[in-house]
Structure 1
Amino acid sequence: MTPLPAFDRVTKCPPPGRFPLAWEEVESELVKAECFADSSTRPDLMSELRMHFALVEIATGAVGRIWLAGSFVSRKINPEDVDVTYLIPSDAYGRATEDPDTVDELDNLGTKDWCVRHGMRVDAYVLRLPETADFQALGVAGAMAAGDHKVFEELGVHDEIWQRCRRGENGVPDGTRRGYVEVLL
């Protein structure tokens, strides 16, 4: 895979878009890069993210992809947390949400205060991936799996959220967009 593009001078984040990286590349680009040599939080945040990921994977049985955003995917030397969205394959998500205990567990893993109390500075969301596999047929009436319309909407909302900059923060003009990372598993 290609490395993460250079951070934008205005947003201090990747340029707009979603950039695929493997776990090793995330660590190389966002933790061990020379520009982060003085970071006191990035190595621990990476460890906490890996622990959090393992808990989500145990609870759901599978994680398809991960989206990382926020200050962890920026030039900020010492981000305070990691913003993450877990994309769970449809079948695994269905099984996980049939069990009330697993639903409670995922609710905890998606609650920032719970995560912090358990030693993980992670702000997480868990989303289902679409069941629809044949994307060439999406324009054909009835080709989309039941419920996938809502799934696609939810994914689009989170994609939009992760690409937005906070209004007027640090002199960034309103409406400015940023990129984020998709961890391929």
Structure 2
Amino acid sequence: MPSLPPFLPATDTLPPGRFPMSWEEVEEDLVWNRRFAASTTRWEIFKEWTLHRAAVEAVLGSVSRMWLAGSFVSGKIDPSDVDVTYLVAHDVYDAHAADSDLAEYLDNLGTRDWCVAQHMRVDARILRLPETVRFQDLGVTGAMAPGDRDVFYQLGLFDEIWQRCRPTMGDTRTDSRRGYVEVLL
């Protein structure tokens, strides 16, 4: 896979879009890149995220892919945390959501305050992927799997959230857009 495009000079973020990377490429480009050599937080945050990912995978057994955004996916030398959305296959998610103890633990893993209490600078969400996979079935009455309308809504919501920028001091733009990374596993 190609490395990330250059950060935009005006925002120090990726250009709008979703950029696929492997786990190893994320570490190489967003932790060890010489641009971040002076960082005092990137490696520590990456280690904390690695532990968090291991906890999510220990509960679920697998994660399909992840969306990575925020200051960790920017030119900021010392980000304060990593924003990550774990995308989980519908059958895996549903099997664990039915178990109240596992569902509570997953809810904790997806709660920023809980992560901070565990000394992890991780702001995480855990989302179910749709059951409907055939393009032909999308939007066809009765063809889409029950509940997938809400699943697609949540995915679209977070896609939109991850592409938004917080305005910087003196920034008068009302719709600053940025890109984010899709970590392929």
Cα shift at 1:152: 0.4
3-state SS of 2:44 partner:
helix
- CA deviations 1:98-122 (Å, max 9, x no partner) are 1111111011111212112212110
Q: CA deviation at 1:139?
A: 4.1
1:94-173 equivalences in 2 (<5 Å): 94-166=94-166, 168-172=167-171, 173=173
How far has the Cα of 1:137 moved from its partner?
2.8
Match of 2:31 in 1: 31
User: Structure 1 residues 138-147 or 103-112, which shifts more?
Assistant: 138-147
Alpha-carbon distance change, 139 to 114 in structure 1, aligned in 2, over 3 angstroms: closer
Per-residue CA deviations over 1:107-158 (Å, capped at 9, x if unaligned) read 1111212112212110000100000121233243322111101100100000
- Give me the TM-score of the superposition, normalised by structure 2: 0.96
Sort the Cα spacing of 1:8 and 1:171 in 2 relative to 1 into closer, same or farther, 3 A.
farther
CA distance in 2, matches of 1:89, 1:171: 42
Instruction: Supply the RMSD in Å over aligned alpha carbons.
Output: 1.1
Q: Secondary structure at the match of 1:13?
A: coil
Superposed CA deviations along residues 42-80 of structure 1, whole A, max 9, x for unmatched, are 001111111101111111222111001000000000001
How does the TM-score come out when normalised to structure 1?
0.96
| Structure 1 equivalent of residue 92 of structure 2 | 92
Task: Return 171-180 or 92-101, whichever deviates more.
Answer: 171-180
Alignment of 1:63 onto 2:63: yes
In structure 2, stretches of 5+ residues that fail to align are: none
